[in-house]
Amino acid sequence: MYVRVHNVTKPEPAVDSYSLQKQAYLSSEQGEEDIRFYGEAATQMVEQHIDQSLITRQLKMSVARDLQPSRTNPPFGPAPGRSLAGWNRLGIRADDFILLRGPVQSVEKVELVGWDGNASTLVQGTDYYLSLATSAARVRLTRLINWLTCSHLEVTYTAGYGPEPSDVPADIRQAIRLMATHFNEHRGDTADEFPPAYGRLLSQYRSF
């Protein structure tokens, strides 16, 4: 499986500039643009580390099959009893997809895009079922995808803890401040060692 997730709306820093100045020990002599840069860089680092979206945004996930059809790898999904490499990353079934970079708040649209570029919108409850109750939100199709006629599956959804930095858990925000301070203090350095507390603050949020 080939999976691509990209932001439809621009992500915002999960800590405000005043908080960075006061608690991350960034100098007040630094310009607003520099402080925001450290906040954005640290937020991006943390999001990649825990594979989550912090400030609410809209995302689009595209799923395409990267395997050629064969007798043991038919176009309608894996053969009975076979487990194909790459499928477990998305879910336990061939028609079951985990939405990455949660926490997912809502799903706006699920589409099947043909090789001609035309998209058909799927109907919840008829073509797919949605589960947001678990820590990993899932879209489960009611039928397997015919990869001979379908280029990819595309899901548009909203994810994040909330629209404001205060909606993000405090320990995640503290990890962002630590990284912003680290970036500021090690400008131009090539060392990739992170503050010891950074990993401990984020350990409970990693799902892999």
Phi, psi of 19 (to 5 degrees): -65, -40
* Cα 108-116-113 angle, rounded to 5 deg: 20
- Set out the domains of the chain in order of their start, with CATH numbers: 9-53+166-205 (1.10.3230), 57-159 (no CATH)
SS3 content of the chain, % helix, strand, coil (to 5): 25, 25, 50
Name the pTM for this structure.
0.76
The pLDDT value recorded for residue 16 is: 60
- What SS3 state is found at 22? helix
Please state whether beta strands 138-141 and 150-159 pair in parallel, antiparallel, or not at all (unpaired): unpaired
Q: Is pLDDT larger for residue 38 or for residue 33?
A: 38
The residue assigned the tokens 């079951």 is 96
Q: How many CB atoms lie within 10 A of CB 40?
A: 18
Nearest to 180 by CA among 27, 58, 75: 27
Contact 138, 98 (CB under 8 A): yes
Q: Residue 98 and residue 107: Cα distance in Å, rounded? A: 12
- What SS3 state is found at 171? helix
Per residue in 57-96, pLDDT (tens digit) is 999 999 887 644 444 444 434 433 333 333 333 333 557 8
Contact 99, 159 (CB under 8 A): yes
Per residue in 104-143, pLDDT (tens digit) is 999 999 999 998 889 999 999 999 999 987 678 999 888 8
What distances in angstroms separate CA 89 from CA 2, 23, 184, one per listed residue? 10, 38, 36
